[in-house]
Amino acid sequence: MTESFVQEKIALLNRYEESSEQFQSCYEKIIFDIVKTKDLFTVVRKESSVESIKDGTAPIFCGIGYNDIPSVWLFTEETIAKEYTNHYNLKKDEVGLYKKVAIEELTVFLFNAMFSGVSGLIVDEGKNTLTTNVYDLVNTSLLAMRRQPVLEKQEYKIMTLFNQMKFGSKKLWIIPAKETTGEELIFNQFSPLQIENTIKIYETQDECKKESLRHGYKNEFSASVDINSLYQVLNHSINKGIEEVRFVGNDYEVKMSFIKVLNILARMNDRKSS
């Protein structure tokens, strides 16, 4: 597989409707081809030394990409990486701020970046550019290494919500268990309403309040949680027999295992995973 083959496939991808089977099939082949590409190149941080750029130890750059999404840039040809850094004057002592990166290093970097708000991947092939998410590349790379993917496709939405909570003002909503006291609410030492082995977390307060009435609460009852308090609440509930978490939005409902959600939140809060 040659690098130009990736460029050709991106050009072909842009001819398809995004919702079509042809688009999805072509897209998956592009991601697989990138994972199998021998030489990949990426932009490095501007504070990198010339020595670190030349020996390949310079740290990978993350910046704001399309639609204001924190992103990483990737190229399959050095000439394109060089043209890109020249065009945007990304240089250190006339040395372009880019380096060759192995897929193993890139995968580890993107895996860690996922928990720090980075979700965009820009594959810049000169005339043809693919703007996508880091999750597909990480998952495909892990599968090629015979390892389990980090997230299922339907879980990408939840990872985005968590990053909006960590790096923005986004909050989610929970119905506290009926026996919850005011003090427990204040200190996040309460458990969510549990139906058998499942709890629900809501994207909007209105839906959360409505659901509380459906479960017999006399008044609308909901508690807002940020990324830290959500971890505290779930960690407090670790021995309650909860197996499944359902995230509910206006047009979606995503199921995830309780332990998986808790481990992601632990990592995003710099806590020890369960």
Instruction: Tell me the per-residue pLDDT of 35-91, one tens digit each, with 9 for 90 and over.
Output: 999 889 999 999 999 999 999 999 999 999 888 899 999 999 999 999 999 999 999
CA 179 to CA 85: how far, in whole Å? 59
Cα distance between residue 50 and residue 30, in whole Å: 32
Rounded CA separation 274/268 (Å): 13
CA-to-CA distance for 100 and 112, rounded, in angstroms? 19
The span from the CA of 145 to the CA of 11, in Å, is: 28
Residue with the two structure tokens 């842009």: 14
Pick the more confident residue, 42 or 1: 42
Query: Could you read off the pLDDT of 230-262 as tens digits, one per residue?
Result: 999 999 999 999 999 999 999 999 999 999 999
- Type of residue found at 8: E
Task: Encode pLDDT of 134-156 as tens digits.
Answer: 999 999 999 999 999 999 999 99
**Is the pLDDT assigned to residue 4 strictly greater than 90?**
no
Judging by DSSP bridges, how do beta strands 244-248 and 223-225 pair with one another? Answer: unpaired
Position with higher pLDDT, 202 vs 180: 202
Does the pLDDT at position 1 exceed 50?
Answer: no
Whole-number average pLDDT of the chain: 93
Q: Specify the pairing of strand 128-133 against strand 172-174.
A: unpaired
Helix residue spans in the chain (DSSP H) = 3-13, 21-36, 50-55, 78-87, 103-114, 134-144, 156-167, 182-186, 205-214, 227-236, 258-268
At 1, list the tokens: 């597989």
- Average of per-residue pLDDT across 19-24: 93
Q: What is the pLDDT of residue 118?
A: 93
pLDDT, mean of residues 20-40? 94
Check whether domain 3-150 has CATH 3.40.1350.90, yes or no: yes
Q: Could you count the other beta carbons within 10 Å of the beta carbon of residue 197?
A: 11
Residue 3 pLDDT greater than 60, yes or no = no
CATH superfamily, domain at 163-268:
Uncharacterised protein PF11572, DUF3234 (3.40.1350.90)
Q: Taking residues 104-115, report their average pLDDT.
A: 95
Q: What is the pLDDT of residue 221?
A: 87
Domain residue spans in the chain? Answer: 3-150, 163-268
Task: Provide the pLDDT for residue 127.
Answer: 83
The predicted structure's pLDDT at residue 13: 93
Q: What is the pLDDT of residue 270?
A: 83
Topology match between the domains 3-150 and 163-268: yes
